[in-house]
Amino acid sequence: MKIMVAEYAVGARGDKGSSLLREGKAMLTTLRRGFERLDNEVVYPVAAHDFEAAVDKLSRESDAGIVIAPDEKLYELTELVESNTVNLGCPSECVKICADKMRTTKILADKGIPVPRIVSEEEMKRDDAWKSVYVRKPRYGCASENVFIVNGKENQEDIPFDDNRDHIVTEFIKGEDISSSVIAGDSFVLPLTINQQFIRMEQERLIYEGGLVPYLVGRDAEKKIRSISKKVVAMLNCKGYVGIDFVLGYDDTPYVVDVNPRPTTSIVGIAKVLNYEVADLILRAKFGTLPREEEVKTEGCFTLKLTK
């Protein structure tokens, strides 16, 4: 097959941080080599003047395609791929939901999935709000960009409160920053690994600096994370590779903080330690049958460190 892999940081021109470009190159290389080892031809845009036009052209010429892009761009690009060829990623409607962190959080909360509680304007205005710690992040965004830890009333003037606000404010959950990587087919969700995320706080801002794959969290916590991951993917109708960000609370409760309907940086490490080719699993999720959960194993570990 001829497969298009469109990674935004590599494929689009613009002023991008070095860590985002490094992540993008690593993910693109991992998928390209994986698909090529399976005797597929891989095409991808590089420094395109018009990234959308490049995706349109290459997807029309390909038998299948997958896009890795920021949340605010992923929906339209996925729609474009769906109109031209077989989409190996999540359906565009799923992408649209997951891109909206407020909508996603409300959906999961209504279904009983542990998520950080969304903080109301009234709560932020209370006299004792300064005693509480919150997380402020863009309603649409990725890669931990512009995610801040704020102290209640002290910072409330910086936070807009209305139904169309650009940010979402939630309670701050103390715990470990981890993620879960899964592959979803039409009728089966296959957990791959649980990963540690390296998050550094610079003043009040949270910065992602890489991760460890796989990460051991204990049998009970692992069981909970895998179970919740399967439920989340089914609820949101995710397909293909999906990354789910968690904070594992000190009471071993996994709180879902983000759902990424696309390959994430963890795929680089997973490809190094998994006993299956990740690219093969992505294709099998679309065209074939996924292996049983007990057949998927890891050997060793892989650490990815990003520098600014």
Whether residue 214 has a cis bond before it, omega within 30° of 0: yes
Report which DSSP code applies to 173.
Answer: P
DSSP H/E element including 245: strand 240-249
Cα–Cα distance, 270 to 50 (Å, whole number): 31
User: Cα torsion for 271, 304, 98, 87, to the nearest 10°?
Assistant: -30
pLDDT band at 145 (very low <50, low <70, confident <90, very high): low
User: Whole-number mean pLDDT of the chain?
Assistant: 90
Query: Taking a C-beta distance cutoff of 8 angstroms, is the pair 166, 139 a contact?
Result: yes
CA distance 255 to 117: 10
CA diameter of the chain: 64
User: What is the spatial order of strands in the sheet that 41-43 belongs to?
Assistant: 41-43, 2-7, 64-68, 86-87
Residue 198 contacts residue 305 (beta carbons within 8 Å): yes
d(CA 277, CA 270): 9
Tell me, what's the pLDDT at 160? 45
295 secondary structure, DSSP code: G
151-202 tens-digit pLDDT: 765 554 554 444 445 888 899 999 999 999 999 999 899 999 999 999 888 7
Burial 179-194, CB ≥16 within 10 A → b, else e: bbbbbbbeeebbbbbb
3-state helix, strand, coil in the chain (%, to 5): 40, 30, 30
Residues 6+ apart with CB under 8 A from 288: none
In the chain, which residues fall in CATH 3.30.470.20?
97-113+175-305
239, 281 contact by CB (below 8 A): no
Hey, what are 36's tokens?
A: 């090529």
Provide the pLDDT confidence category of residue 17 given band limits of 50, 70 and 90: low
């690219």: which residue's tokens? Answer: 279
Q: How far apart, in whole angstroms, are the C-alpha atoms of residue 16 and residue 36?
A: 28
Q: Name the pTM for this structure.
A: 0.92
CA distance 65 to 3: 5
**Pairing between β-strand 86-87 and β-strand 64-68 as defined by DSSP bridges:** parallel
Mean pLDDT of the 271-292 span = 97
Residues contacting 266, CB < 8 A, separation 6+: 179, 181, 193, 195, 211, 213, 243
Euclidean distance between CA atoms 97 and 92, whole angstroms: 9
* Nearest Cα residue to 69 out of 102, 23, 32, 36: 23
Where do you find CATH 3.40.50.11770 in the chain? 2-89
In CATH, what number does 97-113+175-305 get? Answer: 3.30.470.20
CA 196 to chain centre: 14
pLDDT digits (tens, 9 = 90+) for 24-57: 999 999 999 999 999 999 999 998 899 999 999 9
CATH of region 2-89: 3.40.50.11770
| 20-24, 59-63, 272-276: range with lowest mean pLDDT | 20-24
pLDDT band at 59; cut points 50, 70, 90: very high
Tokens of 170: 């939630």
Query: For the CA atoms of 8, 92, 224, 209, what is the dihedral angle to 10 degrees?
Result: 10
